[in-house]
Amino acid sequence: MAHSSHARANLVAFLAILALSALTMVWLFWHYPVKTLIATVAVLAALGVSARLARSVESDGGADLDHGEQSI
């Protein structure tokens, strides 16, 4: 029973943080539409570039190891 109440508390906390984030974004967009739009596009572009870099680094990293030998 303690496990289910802990999971429920985590879910409520997650939903509260999500709602606060959404309300903050709506408030910022309502008061500062151009600045918020520019900042949102910049953050999404940074996340996209970061994902592409992570994907390229991850695929290149496995090529260095020889499958027959284990490194310590």
Q: What ranges do the domains of the chain cover?
A: 25-58
Contact between 39 and 32 under an 8 Å Cβ cutoff? The reply is: no
pLDDT of residue 59: 74
pLDDT of residue 63: 55
The rounded distance, in Å, linking the Cα atoms of 63 and 59 is 7
Write out pLDDT tens, residues 8-47. 999 999 999 999 999 999 999 999 999 999 999 999 999 9
DSSP E strands, the chain: none
Quote the pTM value: 0.58
Tell me how long the chain is: 72
The rounded distance, in Å, linking the Cα atoms of 2 and 65 is 46
